[in-house]
Amino acid sequence: MNDAPSGTILAVITLNMEEVSGGAPIFFARDEEKQEKIARYLSKILDATVHDLDNGTYIVVRH
């Protein structure tokens, strides 16, 4: 298991580049299907949970 501290945003997957910026890696997806796919892969790779911010942005967080 990765030992990143809990509560850290490991990645951001968005449909809307204008809504996001900052320190975590940002992935831009063209449509919802691709966004979902990237989020699913990242969640498996990072052993972390995907949360939906309901503004076209998903975040991957380690708890």
Partner 1 sequence: MGIYKHRAEHEQRYMPKGDRQGVTGLHHYYPDYLAVILIGVIAGTTARIILLRIDYRQYPGYPHGYLTHTALGLIASALGAVAVPALLKPDYVAVTFLALAAQQFREIRNMERQTLESLEKTELVKRGLDYIEGIARTFEARNYLVMGTSLVTAAAAQLSGLPAAVFTAVLAIYASCYFMSGEVIGDICDVVPAKISFEQGILKVDEIGMVNIGLKPMRDKILQDGLAVVIKPRNGNARATIHDIGQRTAIAFTAAVIVGTKKDVDLPEFTPLARKNPDTGEVGLYIVPVEKDIDQLIAAVKLTPVLESARSKPLNARPVIKAIKEEGDIT
| Cα–Cα separations (whole angstroms), residue 32 to 1, 7, 54, 62 | 29, 25, 12, 22
Binding status of residue 20 toward partner 1 by CB under 8 A: no
Nearest distance from C-beta of residue 14 to partner 1, angstroms = 12
Chain-centre distance of CA 5, in angstroms?
16
Binding status of residue 8 toward partner 1 by CB under 8 A: no
Q: Is 61 left (phi over 0), alpha (psi -120 to 50) or beta?
A: beta
Binding status of residue 40 toward partner 1 by CB under 8 A: yes
Q: Can you tell me which of 22, 23, 30, 44 binds partner 1, judged by CB under 8 A?
A: 44
Applying CB under 8 A, the residues found at the interface with partner 1 are 1, 36, 39-40, 43-44, 47-54, 58-59, 63
